[in-house]
A = this chain, B = another copy of it.
């Protein structure tokens, strides 16, 4: 290991086996732990290159991580080197003229968003974990609530610098908006969960910051009514966010946050955010929507306090559950007209298995986040019930034309459901690509095991 200390000379940035903190041997759930020989914190691309060359020469696995918010096991190492990019937080360039920002991958999403908004610009992707790194967001093609209007992380990656498994450095993409010059290598790296290369720099597309936004809630008697009106919403306007939540789910957030969710007599809600150049336009769109929706309850957040309370309740649902019991997070996606079918299925499954489930999510894009509650089950019962529930949920998801991951990735946790969802011919091509990009199978080889 002498050579690594030549590369990373600052002793604070190299941690040996026994001294590696448990937080670096797990993922965001902190339920499963791996092991590793060494943890390094590079600060530059040049340092990453040298570490990777060292790993390659010594056939050591590399598990790359950012803030460790991953929920599917991708940051649980299986020996070798943990490459922690959380010190690579530089903002390399803000180019206002081309609407781009170039950053190192360890910058936190919330820091990036804050920085560009100070310059009247806007980075639209907004996944729930604001303390995730941008590199992590790219590696899982993270989406979030604003995807219904603005798209996902993939849509905002203009260029990448990637260190390949042999230590060579790839520059892909540019500040050009349109590009049909060669195969879309950039898109292969986006969402590849660290299996194809290590992102060391990224250039992201920005847009002008929306001047105003408004949040309102439409209340319905049933979740079916709420879901049935998604198409009407999408035909009438382009929401920034379009979330669904049931009354009984909102109550978890109320209890946790101490705030009251509006329209307490409704059983299901669509939470809608609009943004734009002026409030008048937003008002017009909202009134048009009201006319098109017909009979329903309606609440408009009048000020930033009310707006914040609504989004705090919505944003606190997972933490509200975790304050009460351990939970298993699900991130499935179904075609938008199948959301109600899936929610109803979870209710039947709840009755059948007695496992409590809370469903909520991004109605505008069919991305359903489900918390499966452990409650007072012992380890054996929990694993057994969880397996039962998983199998039923992912099976139903496939029946409805859905997929096992919308934005969390496959990692180690979803490999079998990924195998069920993706045809063997497709997986064979993915394996072939992995083989070409990382012939020694060193990069994040604990995840995505079937494509390796």
Chain A 227-242 interface mask (CB, 8 Å, partner B; 1/0): 0000100111110000
Known contacts being A174-B401, A437-B429, is A422 close to B181, with CB within 8 Å?
A: yes
A18 at the interface (CB under 8 A from B): no
Q: Do B178 and A98 touch across chains, with their CB atoms under 8 A apart?
A: no
Known contacts being A170-B425, A172-B426, A333-B179, is A188 close to B187, with CB within 8 Å?
A: yes
Chain B's closest residue to A450 (CB) is: B182
In the complex, A152→B280 CA distance in Å?
A: 30
Q: Do A183 and B192 touch across chains, with their CB atoms under 8 A apart?
A: yes
Q: Do B401 and A180 touch across chains, with their CB atoms under 8 A apart?
A: no
In the complex, A403→B430 CA distance in Å?
A: 28
In the complex, A175→B397 CA distance in Å?
A: 13
Q: Do B335 and A175 touch across chains, with their CB atoms under 8 A apart?
A: yes
In the complex, A242→B362 CA distance in Å?
A: 32
Known contacts being A176-B333, A176-B334, is A421 close to B277, with CB within 8 Å?
A: no
> 10 A–B contact pairs at CB < 8 A?
A96-B231, A141-B179, A152-B178, A175-B401, A176-B401, A176-B406, A177-B333, A183-B188, A183-B434, A208-B236
Q: Do A367 and B177 touch across chains, with their CB atoms under 8 A apart?
A: yes
**In the assembled complex, which residues on chain B have CB atoms less than 8 Å from the CB atom of A168?**
425
**In the assembled complex, which residues on chain B have CB atoms less than 8 Å from the CB atom of A120?**
235
What's the number of copies of this chain in the assembled complex? Answer: 2
In the complex, A317→B425 CA distance in Å?
A: 46
Q: Do A433 and B430 touch across chains, with their CB atoms under 8 A apart?
A: no
Contact partner, A406, options B179, B238, B333, B334, Cβ 8 Å: B179
In the complex, A25→B431 CA distance in Å?
A: 37
Interface window among A58-66, A103-111, A281-289: A281-289
In the complex, A200→B177 CA distance in Å?
A: 28
Interface window among A38-46, A77-85, A407-415: A407-415
